[in-house]
Amino acid sequence: MDTYANFINGEWSPSRSGRFVDNVNPADTRDKIGRVGLSTREEARAAIEAAARAFPAWRETPVPVRGAIIAKAAVILAERKEEISRALTREEGKLLRESRGEVQKAVNVLEFMAGEARRLNGETVPSELPFNFAYTLKQPLGVVSLITPWNFPVCIPAWKIAPALVAGNTCVFKPATLTPATATLLVKVFQDAGVPPGVLNLVIGSGAEVGDEFVTHPAIKAISFTGSNEVGAALYKDGAARLKKVQCEMGGKNPIVVLADADIPLAVEAAAQGAFGSTGQRCTATSRVVIEAGVADRFVELLLERTRRIRVGNPMEAEIDMGPSVDANQYKTVHSYIEIAKAEGAKLVLGGGKLTDGPCAYGFFTAPTIFDHVTRTMRLAKEEVFGPVLAVLRVKDFDEAVEVANDVPYGLTSSVYTNDGAKTFKFIERIETGITHVNSPTMGGEAQLPFGGMKATGVGTREMGRVALDFFTELKTVYIDYTGKKREGNLY
Ligand code: NAD
């Protein structure tokens, strides 16, 4: 069985803590994939120190040269797509075709960011003064820490590492302990692409120990975190108290709003894909359908028909449509929300149970679950479940639909199904989410476009797209006076 190693200063070596947890296949817990060493604070510190030592040379490496390394990483990642996708499915449980999609997206992100290395320019700006040249310059921050969740263990690290490195920072990266194999394979891609020793370091371990060191160590200039609100909120506070730059992307409770004039079969398909794809474990998963009451019965009937056809089982198999929850904890959370929803009076119209027979006998499988007549004050309407559980909320009209869609703490993504142009634009203006879709599902995002949420979902600047570089750079404003004379007038 593999023991995953840390990657510090260009060397791979397993943690010496002597503390381990198993990496287990969530579709079949008899399949023990590897041993995860839980690294110590000292190991985390060694990685930060290596990154600090590597920083001066990396910041002086011309930006297009840094970009060329990222471009090479994109090529290598594409070559290893199948191997990495299989490792991802085995340890995280998403379908193999979803894993391939995730790895491809990471390739796209690397390609895009490699190109941005040729455009990391500031601006030249006219000065109020004669013979003054004013411009801005983007510079790296120093050592940055990247802390990531298990649910997109290739793509999310890729969309943090690539802009951090292009910008000239050196990185310490802590993946979730549930997905160490994919993190290892991803870091090997950067190593093989020619990232110099110390520039990218990987430390596998717990949030409380390695994660905390990555937040609190004085050499860390910025923290880019994706994960739960509970952890993100605490980390934001700790980072801010030390005047570090912090970016957190957190939970979601994403709605599909279906208006009476919508193409109902199209909306049904989007709801099923959004709610049950990746077992509902996407931050962009659809967890609510907010629908005008007049079309709700027809919608629910078609949705039940569509969802009954979902085949649950081994995510490696091509004919399977939905895999397991990632681990026992997530499985427990899903079933506790199912019980809460029942107790609160939501109407369970499909699923709700654990699947424990046949291909599902040894994994964390849940039947795709739909609750109808969920009301806006129920916990199922407000809280992130992160599993295959969909809430249907019936509303009287468009205004109420938008109000209900916005009535959650989160604001990641949303979609609206309608053919009414005016309502489409009103929805886009009023919906409180960082991303919105018209007549397409709540998930998805392209490398060249910003990604992130409003309200409790996100703090700090957006990830992906050109804007991703803003977080990882300082902006310096420069005035060059070539008058050779003393300044006259107000010096404000
Ligand atoms: P999590 O918050 O439990 O863990 C995320 C990372 O933080 C892990 O690496 C974990 O080890 C680390 N961590 C835990 N405690 C820490 C601490 N005290 N200090 C520093 N680091 C610590 O989240 P998870 O369960 O891995 O991921 C699921 C969550 O991520 C969901 O809420 C989901 O919505 C969210 N998510 C959001 C986005 C987005 O872009 N908005 C994308 C994917 C996932």
What is the DSSP secondary-structure string of 209-262?
A: IIIHHHHH-TTEEEEEEES-HHHHHHHHHHHHHTT-EEEEE----EEEEE-TTS
81-110: b (≥16 Cβ within 10 Å) or e: beebbebbbbbbbbbbebbbbbbbbbbbbb
Quote the tokens at residue 430: 């009023």
Q: Which ligand 1 atom is nearest residue 178's CA?
A: 26
Residue from 160, 202, 226, 414 to probe ligand 1 pocket by mutation (most atoms less than 8 Å from CB): 226
What is the DSSP secondary-structure string of 86-119?
A: HHHHHHH---HHHHHHHHHHHHHHHHHHHHHGGG
> Rounded distance, CA 4 to CA 266, Å?
44
Which CATH number is 287's domain given? Answer: 3.40.309.10
Ligand 1 and 174: CB distance under 6 A: yes
Quote the tokens at residue 334: 């899903």
Q: Evaluate whether residue 178 is within a structural domain.
A: yes
> Rounded distance, CA 212 to CA 214, Å?
5
Q: Evaluate whether residue 487 is within a structural domain.
A: no
pLDDT value of position 2 = 79
Q: Residues with catalytic annotation?
A: 249, 283
Domain shared by 54 and 174, yes or no: yes
pLDDT value of position 394 = 98
For residue 405, what are the domain limits?
Answer: 254-438
Q: Are 36 and 4 in contact (CB under 8 A)?
A: yes
Domain shared by 338 and 465, yes or no: no
Q: Evaluate whether residue 445 is within a structural domain.
A: no
244: alpha, beta or left, given left = phi > 0 and alpha = psi -120 to 50? beta
Q: Are 351 and 372 in contact (CB under 8 A)?
A: no
Q: Evaluate whether residue 486 is within a structural domain.
A: no
Domain shared by 204 and 343, yes or no: no
Q: Are 432 and 458 in contact (CB under 8 A)?
A: no
Quote the tokens at residue 456: 């409790």
Residues of the chain with pLDDT under 50: none
Please count the CA atoms within 13 angstroms of the CA of 428 that sit on its side-chain side: 10
pLDDT value of position 64 = 98
Q: Evaluate whether residue 464 is within a structural domain.
A: yes
Q: Evaluate whether residue 47 is within a structural domain.
A: yes
Which CATH number is 33's domain given? Answer: 3.40.605.10
Domain shared by 18 and 164, yes or no: yes
pLDDT value of position 486 = 87
Ligand 1 and 231: CB distance under 6 A: yes
Q: Evaluate whether residue 52 is within a structural domain.
A: yes
Domain shared by 88 and 129, yes or no: yes
Please count the CA atoms within 13 angstroms of the CA of 50 that sit on its side-chain side: 24
| pTM greater than 0.95 (yes/no) | yes
Ligand 1 and 472: CB distance under 6 A: no
Q: Evaluate whether residue 22 is within a structural domain.
A: yes
Domain shared by 190 and 293, yes or no: no
Q: Measured in angstroms, how far is the CA atom of residue 395 from the centroid of ligand 1?
A: 33
Q: Measured in angstroms, how far is the CA atom of residue 255 from the centroid of ligand 1?
A: 21
pLDDT value of position 153 = 98
> Rounded distance, CA 217 to CA 212, Å?
8
Q: Are 187 and 109 in contact (CB under 8 A)?
A: no
279: alpha, beta or left, given left = phi > 0 and alpha = psi -120 to 50? left
Ligand 1 and 212: CB distance under 6 A: yes
Closest residue (by CA) to atom 30 of ligand 1? 227
> Nearest CA to 472 among 114, 162, 9, 8?
162
Domain shared by 273 and 212, yes or no: no
